[in-house]
Chain A
Amino acid sequence: MIHILLFLFAFLGFSLLCLARERHQRDLFGRKLAASTARRLRRGGSLCLLLAYPAAGSILGWGYGAVEWLGQLSVGALVTVLLLTRLSTRRSQRPTGA
């Protein structure tokens, strides 16, 4: 259970960080989000990534938890990147197809 939770934390955290970047906002929504929204997304994303560590440490032990936390962060980031790549290419193909 904690493993799934850690992955979700990592995935959500990186997704929010990704959405906070102007370039990806354009890729995904076709427009730039307000600066305050971007700031909130960035803070929320960082918070998710950071909170995952105490969650992992308190259940799995601080040493083991740290290793799994870092491993899950990598996988969460990878899934975010792959998803972003997929969604942005689909979006960029849509206008040319129409």
Chain B
Amino acid sequence: MKGGFRQSMAWLHTWTGLLLGWLLFAIFVTGTSAYFQEEITRWMTPEVRSVPADPASGFAGAVRWLEREAPGASEWSAYSAGKRTAGLQLYWVNGPDASADAPTEARLDGAGRKVEARETLGGWFLYRFHYDLHYINWYWARWLVGVAAMAMLVAILSGIVTHKKIIADFFLLRFGKGQRSWLDVHNVSSVLFLPFILMITYTGLVSLATHYMPWGVAANYSDQAKFVDAAFPWPAPGERAGAAPLVPVAPLVERAEHGWGVAAGSIRILNPGDRSARIIVSSAPDSSMFVRPRSITFDGVTGRQIDARDPSGAATNTESAMIGLHAGRYANMLLRVLYFLSGLAGCVMVASGLILWTVKRRARLPDPGRPHPGFRLVEKLNIAAIVGLPFGIAVYFLANRLLSLGIEGRSEQEIDAMFIAWGAIAVWAIARPARRAWIESLSAAALAFVSVPIVNALTTSRGLPASLMAGDSIFALFDIAMLVIAAGFCGAAFKVAQRDAGRAANRRMRKASPPATEVA
């Protein structure tokens, strides 16, 4: 049979796409938001007003702070919060004479002062959700995400085969033609952004490759910890040998940066204030496409270089660059925007594919007024997935501003708020007729997103007018982005309402002519 191969590919495309599409949509949305993870975190910690500082003086300031606040520690470390966010995250391991509940971490702003900000996981939570999910064990979550990514790869490849003819026609985008338009949108978003979509799916699988295929590691190392030690060594502090002053760190950081030609991203100091002190300077993961850092170990008293590590070897470099390509941390603002747009195209591709499943089948239903339960289930899950998650994210932002500041487990409550909102849309979708539920949930999402800048202006001194006046681009653009998203949901709600109004008239017309058949 001539159409056999393409028919079976079409079947594969439809069903892998549908079954994992809902999860894929969530992965795509949260993953896309992660390209602006640092900006989201900054918006969610409005107390922090960062002033940029160069890494060398930042690390020197961190050491001064740690000498004052954690003098007895056996280990200090300071991590740059990223090149777009001034500030450092500090951790330390208290000595034996410190009390058990003594703090072990702090955040400094760009000027070296301790930051007192609201408790939130910020953009990091959305980033983390895109491969670890939430409320379920991360081990199984990664497997679930891996299965979804694999299904995505299958759906892309079978989609290319199925839609071969349409790829040739990839300039076509016709609006207002029902199923034809949905197919066009599905095509345009996937074909035009195919390099990104293939890359992101494949490199996503690579970044968790040892999780999915532990056998290579298992065959060569007696346990996972030994592999981690060999691949990413993490020296422990040695025996103490007697007090000796720590060498200034700023010149060492500068020397390391000069040697690499890229910025330093973190330092670790083992046994500070001791003759056995070691200072390990590592390159920043966002300084180049290769995410695995290089590091140099210095003697903490003399400043002499003891050891240098440069993860090389073809396999390590390939893995390192693939993760770099996936996460895009190295990208400057313009390329970051391109990444973000491509991510949005991915969201549109998955969403339009899910909607297409129902649009195609609705035309063939024996009685469109009373669809069978499977159809109704897909329709409702589509609403819950496509509108529910964005609505949840808007509520996550709102909760960040509205929950009182001092409460216990605040960051977890923000996350709970997001899932409660998401669940509420799901319940609403189940309870209401599908068409009404689309209009109502899209309107709710528009309302939630438009509230974000309003609530921000009411609860902080960094509302949109104030940040525009102050030239605070991150806050201003975040608020504007919320308004743009709100306008998008509002437009979608109107579109659905309009379509419903016109549907009765259309149905009368369709009865006169037989429905067009489509291969898809």
Q: Which of A33-41, A47-55, A69-77 is the contact stretch?
A: A69-77
From B14-22, B338-346, B429-437, give the one contacting chain A.
Answer: B338-346
CB of B117 within 8 A of chain A?
Answer: no
**Cβ < 8 Å to B, chain A residues 50-95:** 63-64, 67-68, 70-75, 77-78, 80-82, 84-85, 89
Of residues A14, A75, A84, which shows the largest number of chain B Cβ atoms within 10 Å of its Cβ? A75
Q: Which of A17, A21, A81, A84 contacts B192 (CB 8 A)?
A: A81
Contacts of A23 on B, CB cut-off 8 Å?
A: 169, 172
Which residue of chain A is the closest to B189 with respect to CB atoms?
A: A78
A75–B169 CB distance below 8 A: no
Question: A72, B321: Cβ atoms under 8 Å?
Answer: no
Tell whether, in the assembled complex, residue B341 and residue A75 are in contact, meaning their CB atoms are under 8 Å apart. yes
What residue in chain A is nearest B290 (Cβ atoms)?
A63
Q: Is B335 an interface residue (CB 8 A)?
A: yes
A82-B173 CB under 8 A given contacts A71-B335, A75-B338: yes
- Chain A contacts for B173, CB-based, 8 A: 81-82, 84-85
Closest to B338 in A: A71
A18 in contact (CB, < 8 A): yes
- A68 with B171: in contact, given A63-B289, A73-B195, A81-B192 (CB under 8 Å)? no
Q: With the chains together, A72 CA to B339 CA distance in Å?
A: 10
Interchain CB contact under 8 A, A70 and B196: yes
* Contacts between chains A and B (CB distance < 8 A), count: 59
Give every chain A residue within 8 A of B172 (Cβ-Cβ).
23, 81
Cβ-based interface call for B469 (8 A): no
A24:B171 contact, CB within 8 angstroms: yes
B324 to chain A, nearest CB (A): 9
Residue in chain B with minimal CB distance to A84: B171
Interface assignment of B501: CB less than 8 Å from any CB of chain A: no
- Cβ of B226 within 8 Å of any chain A Cβ, yes or no, is no
Kindly state whether residue A3 has any CB partner on chain B within 8 Å.
Answer: yes
Contacting pair A81 B289 (CB below 8 A): no
- Contact among B334, B341, B345 for A3, CB-based, below 8 A: B334
Contacts A3-B334, A63-B321, A78-B188 known; A71 to B171 CB distance under 8 Å?
A: no
Can you list, as one digit per residue, whether each of B185-225 has a CB less than 8 Å from chain A (1) or not (0)? 00010001101100000000000000000000000000000
Query: Which residues on the B side are within 8 Å of A75 (C-beta)?
Result: 338, 341
CB nearest to B193 among chain A residues: A74
Nearest residue (CB) in A for B175 is A85
Which residues of chain A are near B330, meaning CB under 8 Å?
64
Q: Give, as a whole number of angstroms, the nearest-CB distance from B181 to chain A.
A: 10
B263 CB → nearest A CB, Å:
16
Do B171 and A67 touch (CB < 8 A)? no
Q: Give the CA-CA distance A80 to B173 in the complex, in Å.
A: 11
Q: Find B338's partner among A14, A68, A84 (CB 8 Å cutoff).
A: A68
Whole-angstrom distance from the CB of A87 to the nearest CB of chain B? 11
A80, B188: Cα distance in complex, Å: 11
Q: State the CA gap A68–B341 with chains docked (Å).
A: 13
B338 touches A81 (CB 8 A): no
For the complex formed, measure the closest distance between the CB of A29 and the CB atoms of chain B, giving whole angstroms: 15
Are B196 and A71 in contact (CB-based, < 8 A)? Answer: yes
Q: With an 8 A cutoff between CB atoms, is B325 at the interface? A: yes
Chain B nearest CB: distance from A44 CB in Å? 16
B345 nearest CB neighbor, chain A only: A74
Residues in B neighbouring A84, C-beta threshold 8 A = 171, 173
B174 CB within 8 Å of chain A? yes
Q: Is the CB of B195 within 8 A of A68?
A: no
CA gap between A73 and B334 in the complex, in Å: 14
Q: Are B188 and A72 in contact (CB under 8 A)?
A: no
Q: Please, which residues of chain A bring their CB within 8 A of the CB of B289?
A: 63-64, 67
If A63-B289, A67-B325, A67-B335 touch, whether A74 touches B171 (CB-CB below 8 Å) is: no
Nearest-Cβ distance from residue A65 to partner chain B, whole angstroms: 10
**What is the minimal beta-carbon distance from B194 to any residue of chain A, in angstroms?**
8
Binary contact track B320-355/A, C-beta < 8 Å → 1, others 0: 010001000011001100110110010000000000
Query: Is A71 touching B342 in the complex (CB atoms < 8 A)?
Result: yes
Closest CB pairs A-B (n = 10): A71-B338, A70-B195, A77-B192, A85-B173, A18-B171, A74-B193, A81-B173, A74-B192, A68-B335, A78-B192
12 residue pairs bridging A and B, Cβ less than 8 Å apart: A67-B325, A70-B196, A71-B196, A71-B341, A74-B193, A74-B338, A74-B345, A75-B341, A77-B170, A77-B192, A85-B173, A85-B174
**Chain B residues engaging chain A, CB cutoff 8 angstroms:** 169-175, 188, 192-193, 195-196, 289, 321, 325, 330-331, 334-335, 338-339, 341-342, 345
New A-B pairs, 16, CB < 8 Å, besides A14-B171, A68-B334 = A3-B334, A18-B171, A23-B169, A24-B171, A63-B321, A64-B335, A67-B325, A67-B331, A71-B342, A72-B338, A74-B193, A74-B341, A77-B192, A78-B188, A81-B170, A84-B171
